[in-house]
Amino acid sequence: MAFKLNKEKFRDAVLELIRLTSTELPRDVIAAMEKARDNEEPGSAAKSVLGSMLKNVVMAKADSTPICQDTGTNIHFVTIPEGISLRKVEQAIIEATQQATAEAYLRPNAVDSLTGKNTGDNTGVMAPYIHFEEWDDPAIKLQLALKGGGCENVSTQYKLPDTSLKAGRNLEGVYKCIIDAINKAQGLGCAPGVIGVGVGGDRATGMIMAKKQLFRKMGDSNPVQQLDDLEQKLLVDLNKLGIGPLGFGGKTTVLGVKIGAVHRLPASFFVSIAYMCWADRHHEMLFTESEVSYD
Amino acid sequence: MIKLQLPLTEADVRQLKVGDEVALSGIMVTGRDEAHTWLINDKPDNVRKLLEGSVIYHCGPVVSKTDGEWKFVAAGPTTSIREEPIQADVVKEYKLRGVIGKGGMGPKTLAGLKEFGAVYLHAIGGAATLLAKSVKKVTDVIKLEEFGVPEAMWILEVEDFPAVVTMDSHGNSLHTKIKADSDKIAKELIGN
Ligand code: SF4
């Protein structure tokens, strides 16, 4: 069945997705933060800071204002039915982004790297970033993440083998890189973070895989047993670092670790680490010809 | 939770230690790169009274204006380390009792805080709406035209603005301590 795209309807639906993502945290992230808050020592700065973050989440939702003023890089993962025009979808997303900026759901965040000039509407070369895939369903799935600058600055990439960490080209090596990266990040990425990891790929595809992990549910399990084991182990061990919320010390340094693997060249073995701050803003929309739904 | 009323005295500040949670009320001033450079290069006199005993907040807010009145819509902290080269000089020159931001600062600032009797307060990164709500009134703005909204010096009346002391006036930095501990644990986990 051919899918006919109503561009205006789609654009409005994307605008709502942007508003939702900027102003409301996903329920599973809120639940993870509540659990973390309850788990911290009574009277600790960690506990009260997590409490304030959660209070901020409630206020932002009630007022429909951005959870954090850094509304970040807009990353769209779009899955479309066969035959849909990518250009039309892209154009609708761009228009929705401009409108969302005008309505203050997004802060103007697209700066020309050569002149330093801010475009003022969050659009520019590869901004917003849109990644396309295709599926059989007669619907467009759009996943959006808003990823802030503070946490992107502590995101990083390793090349294995890494002699300083004595990290080889295996999952143990991957483990060492992740411990090292989160330790180096301290509180700077607005901990507690959610850690997306891409194992393998080239420098770009590995990082895309890492960012894709950020759309997974907090409590899910990895279908690949080896990776699932590694995720569980890292979640426990990273929280032993004691960095805590915003680096004030405490039991919660990360809320989750999600790892995906990409095929690589025989000559390269990259570990790409995408640090997402506690303001882990991402949502999903399903757009069919007759209705729109959000997660 | 320790309630602090701005302006602060040296005695107020000397009793604070790292890890203390505070709630600030009174008049504070925002300032980022442009403001810090201006304060050191031009040494403007019109802000001296304002800054004495007060705190400078590393914040580039989102603001709105209705009926001629400014309002803070989002007011989270920005990364402080950029001001490291001159922060201590600004504290000294303007008799500030504190600096608010995120991420902590380096040894030069830490030494300055100790010498002049001031603290570094870490605000809640990302809690933009919550912090904006503790801003009761924007009483004035300095250098708005020249510096633009994020870099201008906004004079704020705040009530119970929450923060944590992460660098005190006795030479202690929570950031240094947490890092030293976590470095040790990371080394054990990596196992080399
Ligand atoms: S790292 Fe996240 S929470 Fe922190 S300031 Fe940036 S976007 Fe906001």
pLDDT tens string A108-136: 889 999 998 889 999 999 999 999 999 99
Token digits of residue B125? 């990164």
Token match 């401009």: residue?
Answer: A98
Q: Of B36, B58, B122, B175, which one is the catalytic site residue?
A: B36
At residue A190, what is the residue type? C
Q: Which of 22-51 (A) contact B at CB < 8 A?
A: 45, 48-49
Handedness of CA A197, A145, A143, A55 (dihedral sign): positive
B121-159 pLDDT, tens digit per residue, is 999 998 988 999 999 999 999 999 999 888 999 999 999
Give the closest residue to B79 by CA, choosing from A119, A52, A153.
A153
User: Are residues A248 and B122, on separate chains, in Cβ contact within 8 Å?
Assistant: yes
pLDDT tier for residue B169 given thresholds of 50, 70 and 90? very high
What's the number of domains chain B is made of? 1
Residue nearest to atom 7 of ligand 1 (CA): A148
B6-35 pLDDT per residue, tens? 999 999 999 999 999 999 999 999 999 999
Domain ranges in chain A with CATH number 3.30.360:
7-24+67-148+281-294
Residue by residue, DSSP assigns B59-80 as ---EEEEETTEEEEEE----B-
Q: Domain A7-24+67-148+281-294 carries which CATH code?
A: 3.30.360
- In chain B, the N- to C-terminal Cα span, in Å, equals 41
Per-residue confidence band for A143, with pLDDT thresholds at 50, 70 and 90: very high
The residue ranges of DSSP E strands in chain A, in sequence order, are: 73-81, 129-135, 140-147, 156-159, 193-200, 254-262, 270-276, 281-287, 292-294
B36 is catalytic: yes
> Are B37 and B189 a contacting pair, CB within 8 Å?
no
Measuring CA to CA, how many Å separate A62 from each of A12, A59, A257, B132?
21, 5, 29, 14
What is the model's pTM?
0.93
ipTM for this model: 0.93
Residue A228 has pLDDT above 80, yes or no: yes
Q: Note the pLDDT of residue B63.
A: 84
Domain housing B94: 2-190
- The pLDDT of residue B108 is above 90: yes
Residues A6 and A89: their CA atoms lie apart, in Å, by 10
Q: What CATH number does the domain containing B85 carry?
A: 3.20.130.10
DSSP symbol at A202: -
Cis peptide before A161 (omega within 30 of 0): yes
Query: What rounded mean pLDDT belongs to chain A?
Result: 96
